[in-house]
Structure 1
């Protein structure tokens, strides 16, 4: 099972999550999308794919903040979780993709196994972040 966990302010990362889910299902994977992630509803096994933007001064979007806070305060046993993070941001900000990088570091710190480095998408270079995310996924799909 691949859990796609989105952090979104305006819905853009939800579109990316939906697109990646469609691609994974086409390739025979089972996915669940969590647009309002709750730690209690996500098994600490399988693969977690976090797709998040960065809001404000390097903060998480409101919808994912409680999930990240729970992971930080009472992390579950994560040794059975592989993960990847796709961070979407605007490189004109000095906090470019800070939330995604934090999520990546946090999951590694609590015992999950990374599939790849944190993948950043700069919206100034990619008008349609789904395209960059798809290219990344197809390069790494054998690790899922």
Structure 2
């Protein structure tokens, strides 16, 4: 099974709840999954996971939440190429916000591709306008791809 690093961007706790459920599911499936809270790039690289799972809500005008933004900036500024890593992104948003819907997740997904990591699957977009409990969409998606 895979070693999975989980990084989360959350404002009101929705993405954190999905992450808690994801961690439980991945562990039950036999993966060595760890949630690296307030992760730094060095910490994530030292953990040496096979796969990075990024779960993020979108805030403001399509921004990455404050608790994940420093990691994103460090990743973007240091730009470590990751051709041996896989990744997956669960993006949470509300489609009523138009162009900024799941924009944080899109930024994360695009950066990981630029870093040459391989996506496990296309980015999952969870629409709060259609789904009251994001885990109802995220957990089946995780079970299918992990």
Q: Shared fold by TM > 0.5?
A: yes
Q: TM-score, normalised by structure 1?
A: 0.94
Selected match of 1:6 from 8, 11, 15: 8
**Equivalents in 1 of 2:94, 2:53: separation in Å?**
21
**Equivalents in 1 of 2:9, 2:37: separation in Å?**
7
Runs of 4+ in 1 over 6 A off after TM superposition: none
Query: Which structure's residues are more often helix, by fraction?
Result: 2
Aligned length: 141
RMSD of aligned Cα (Å): 1.0
Give the conservation status (yes or no) of the 8 Å contact 2:4–2:31.
yes
Give the conservation status (yes or no) of the 8 Å contact 1:87–1:120.
yes
**Equivalents in 1 of 2:8, 2:118: separation in Å?**
19
Unaligned runs of 5+ in 2: none
Determine helix, strand or coil for the equivalent of 1:93: helix
Determine helix, strand or coil for the equivalent of 1:68: helix
Aligned residue in 1 for 2:81? 77
**Equivalents in 2 of 1:90, 1:59: separation in Å?**
13
Give the conservation status (yes or no) of the 8 Å contact 1:45–1:80.
no
Q: TM-score, normalised by structure 2?
A: 0.93
Unaligned runs of 5+ in 1: none
User: What pairs with 1:1-144 in structure 2 (closer than 5 Å)?
Assistant: 1-43=3-45, 45-94=49-98, 95-141=100-146
Moved more, 15-24 or 31-40: 31-40
How much does 1:50 deviate? 0.2
